Amino acid sequence: MSLLHVFGFGLKVGHSLWMLCCWVVSVVSMNWFIHGGIENTKTGFLGDGRKMWVECWERILGKSWKIHNFYYQSIGSKKVRIVWWRRVLALWLLFWVLASMWVFWYMNGQTTERRKEALASMCDERARMLQDQFNVSMNHVQAMSILISTFHHGKNPSAIDQRTFARYTERTAFERPLTSGVAYAVRVLRSEREQFEKQQGWTIKRMDELGHNPVQKDDYTPEALEPSPIQEEYAPVIFAQDTISHVVSVDVLSGKEDRENVLRARASGKGVLTAPFRLLKSNRLGVILTFAVYKRDLPSNATPEDRIEATDGYLGGVFDIESLVEKLLQQLASKQTIFVNVYDTTNPSHPISMYGSNVSNDELEHFSSLNFGDPYRKHEMRCRFKQKSPWPWLAITTSVAIVVIASLVGQILYATVSRIVKVEEDYKEMMELNKKAAAADIAKSQFLATVSHEIRTPMNGVLGMLDMLMDTELDGTQQDYVRTAQGSGKTLVSLINEVLDQAKVESGKLELEEVSFDLRAVLDDVLSLFSGKSQEKGVELELAVYISDRVPKILVGDPVRFRQIISNLMGNSIKFTKAGHIFITVHLVEEMMDSIEVETLSSSKNTLSGYPVADRRRSWEGFRAFNQDGSTCSLKSSSSDFINLIVSVEDTGAGIPLEAQSRIFTPFMQVDPSISRTHGGTGIGLSISNYLVSRMNGEIGFVSVPEIGSTFTFTAVLRNGSSNSNEEQSQQMNGQSNSVSSELKGMTALLVDHRPTRAKVGNIVINMVLVEQEVWERDASTSTLFTSNLRKFDHGAPKLFLLAKHTSSSRMNTTISGVYSPTVITKPLRASKVSADLQRALGIGNKGNPIPSLSLRNLLIGRKILIVDDNKVNLRVAAGALKKYGADVECAESGIKATNMLKPPHPFHACFMDIQMPGMDGFQATRIIREEEHRYNNSIHHDDNVSNWHVPILAMTADVIQATHEECLKCGMDGYVSKPFEAVQLYREVSRVVPFV
């Protein structure tokens, strides 16, 4: 795929560069034609040139655009067809097969040429050496002819005889390396024969019989030769080298071929070679080089007749070609890799072999010409390699490698294209699946929104009416029924919230807020939420919270999600813990090991309830914020704006089996299927908590010991909030009052508890005597003595308070020695509840009446609020909730009616608007209202004291999908309230958006 991408990228880059060059050249050339060239040349000529130039560039640009469009139509925009690529692959392979054949042919030809060059070099070298040595011998023979002419014919008597000639030729044989012998035949006329034979003492012998009846080397005898026949002249050999002394008395003119050579030699005055023939006695192939010996020096322009007349005799050198060539090749013994043949090619159609054989397996042959000085006779050397030409393995391997590489590249290209096609098909299928998944996600979101709306809307009516019912006069049984119904309704809403939160987690749409909140108030609310459930377990279960003093009072984060994490962990502990305690601790990570005085050990001495617990330090062993040895690491950020909290929830419950601990954070997974039937729940609380902790840049872990208990620990990074007066006022309006009432400041108290951990938790205020129930009930006499001592105070006995797990478990009805009964404060020790109980017992401050006081009923007096909802029950619930705070409420049952009522100017200070309404929904109605306000603000003339008209619109939605909330803000709403809502929620939103509340 990368190769195809590179090819496509190259085409794109090349096309872009080509278009840029064409544009630059066209602009420059056109400017030259228009502004420069036309003014300085003839109009007619340049006009035609300009037209031709424009037409040329238009054609070039047109072709370029065609190439560009063809590329994008054929490759860039269309799917690559696999069949087309198969054809391309076949053409590719065919091309490279032909290319490999050409490479083989070329490389084989190069190898053959190199062999030819090597053969030619070696053959020419041998021919040159043979020819050079022959020329040396020929020159020496010619010099001997001059010597004979001088010392034999020029002296009288002759200075040369047979013995002298033989000795001289023997001593000078090294100067004639190619001659096997030298002989001199004198010219004898017929009239001189008889006298010549008498003078020499032998008869002139005939020579031509030897050619027809060759004799062997050992059988030759000169006496057996016949006398030469009568003829005009004779040329008997009178002098001969010892090696050929057997030719003495032989008439060289009696042989036909020899006669012709002798006559041609005396007529031409040059050396003449005979045809190859069998030499006498040796019977080996040889040739005779003949020079004529003249009586006197002849001019260079002498005629043949002059030369014949001046001839005295003939000097011949015998050359044994076979032995001579063998001697030559022996000198080159290290280079004998070729066969050498020497031919007489005077007759081209019937060349005469002079040396060598035709036995060779190599067809490669080279001819080197030989020039032995006789222009009539033609000779040449033919050479062949001894070994047959080897296989051209380099050419074969190269061509095969080309085919193999081309096949591999073709296979890679084919596989790449196939992969591209597969990826395209998969991509198309994935896009289809993505569309289906998107549609399914939209359908899921719509389904969740619909289900949420359809369930929350009636639940809003149910819970709202139950809340209004609680404000009426009911007896104890009726109040219990109403509280039970409220709890069941809230449980159902909580279950719906968990399922929706899990859907948000899966889609990645769960968002966190950044608001200021009081951590102690949040945990106080959590204790309040679970205190009833802990009391249902009996007196053996105790709840407590400890927050380090170093934890800031105000933090910035998402209090709802932080509370959700604590509630999920606390809820699981409540489910599985029958006796002992559930203990929540909050510290800073950086002071964890130094600030906690309570060590979490397996011993029961230092625990909240005396029950053994799991070692909590093991729950954070894998955290990044700690080293392996458990010591803390410094925060990455040195800024004090960020607070890294570590929260632990410790219980003494049943614990988690070891085999189930690995899947504890898996959604919808529980330890045992029976758990869901025994304890209830969906199994997604821990999964959501894990996700929320990660969104808070923290980590979560746990340690669990079966039958001992579990400890869950998580960290969260929050920002430190500045607690100014405005924020405190806002928190008071939101129901987050100070943990300890200001009326209790300055008082002292004595806290009596035999367990240091509980004493630490109970150390909330210090000005009275607070005694743990277990200490009080352990020894009645000691309790009596204690109360007696309290009476001895001069300025009034301190108030005695008994810290009990449950009101029924204390002996609060027993009067001790007539003093007074201790006031009972039930656990868990929530800051707000302890403060209220102390104020009530001491007779100071607010008595803690839960019913809205008169001041609360007057908070919204004078504020007119419009409620828009098509559901009459929701209208009644919202109207009743706001009327608690003294607001003037009007209702509208449709979006159209609301737009008419909210046309500016109007008397309303705020509007609660439902989203899903028939005819005109809340979004459309809000847009219309904002448009009306915009037109009104543009039409009025306002100065600095007049502000733009804007009524706060708050959505009342049963949809908790983030997209719905975003759409609310997008269309111009100022906030939203989720159904089912409570009265305090409506008040908080009104107080947030309506000024001077």
Each residue's pLDDT tens digit, 596-606: 444 444 445 57
Lowest mean pLDDT among 413-417, 625-629, 739-743, 852-856: 852-856
Q: What is the DSSP string of 186-218?
A: E-EEGGGHHHHHHHHTSPPBP-HHHHHS---TT
Neighbours of 3 (CB within 10 A): 12
pLDDT of residue 101: 93
Tell how strand 823-826 and strand 769-772 pair up. unpaired
Q: Which residue did the predictor score with more confidence, 208 or 993? A: 993
With cut-offs at 50, 70 and 90, classify the pLDDT of residue 700.
very high
Q: In what order do the strands lie in the sheet with 823-826?
A: 750-752, 769-772, 800-804, 823-826
pLDDT of residue 672: 59
Three-state SS at 241? coil
| Angstrom distance (rounded) from CA 584 to CA 519 | 13
Q: Which residue did the predictor score with more confidence, 497 or 579? A: 579
Each residue's pLDDT tens digit, 630-677: 444 444 444 568 889 999 999 998 888 888 888 888 877 666 555 445
Neighbours of 702 (CB within 10 A): 22
The interaxial angle of helices 872-883 and 393-470, nearest 10 deg, is 70
Chain centroid, CA 857 distance in Å:
67
pLDDT of residue 891: 92
| Angstrom distance (rounded) from CA 586 to CA 714 | 10
| Angstrom distance (rounded) from CA 149 to CA 756 | 154
Q: What does the pLDDT average to over 15-32? A: 54
Lowest mean pLDDT among 370-379, 523-532, 837-846: 837-846
pLDDT of residue 42: 41
**CB-CB contact of 250 with 279 (8 Å):** no
**CB-CB contact of 484 with 985 (8 Å):** no
Q: What does the pLDDT average to over 784-795? A: 60
Q: Residue 833: name the closest of 846, 852, 848 by CA.
A: 848
Q: What does the pLDDT average to over 397-422? A: 86
| Angstrom distance (rounded) from CA 252 to CA 932 | 147
Lowest mean pLDDT among 13-22, 315-324, 736-745, 778-787: 736-745
Each residue's pLDDT tens digit, 526-577: 887 787 777 776 656 888 888 888 899 899 998 888 988 998 898 888 888 8
| Angstrom distance (rounded) from CA 938 to CA 435 | 45
Lowest mean pLDDT among 39-48, 714-723, 953-962: 39-48
Q: What is the DSSP letter of 874?
A: H
Q: Which residue did the predictor score with more confidence, 839 or 936? A: 936
Q: What is the DSSP letter of 373?
A: S
**CB-CB contact of 242 with 310 (8 Å):** no
Q: What does the pLDDT average to over 419-430? A: 83
**CB-CB contact of 824 with 777 (8 Å):** no
Tell how strand 272-273 and strand 700-705 pair up. unpaired
pLDDT of residue 892: 93
**CB-CB contact of 337 with 384 (8 Å):** no
With cut-offs at 50, 70 and 90, classify the pLDDT of residue 474.
confident
Q: What does the pLDDT average to over 364-376? A: 87
Each residue's pLDDT tens digit, 715-757: 999 998 864 444 443 444 344 444 444 555 656 665 666 565 6
The residue length of the chain stands at 997
pLDDT of residue 596: 45
- Check whether 911 has a pLDDT greater than 50: yes
Q: What is the DSSP letter of 804?
A: E
Three-state SS at 634? coil
- Check whether 760 has a pLDDT greater than 80: no
Q: Residue 551: name the closest of 501, 591, 604, 587 by CA.
A: 587
Q: Within a 13 Å sphere around the CA of 890, how many CA atoms are in the beta-carbon half?
A: 16
Amino acid at 323: S
Amino acid at 947: S
**CB-CB contact of 92 with 306 (8 Å):** no
pLDDT of residue 78: 47
**CB-CB contact of 338 with 383 (8 Å):** yes
Q: Which residue did the predictor score with more confidence, 787 or 616? A: 616
- Check whether 351 has a pLDDT greater than 60: yes
CB-based burial label for 730 (10 Å; 0-12, 13-18, 19+): middle
CB-based burial label for 70 (10 Å; 0-12, 13-18, 19+): exposed
Three-state SS at 717? strand
Percent of the chain exceeding pLDDT 90 equals: 12
pLDDT of residue 187: 92
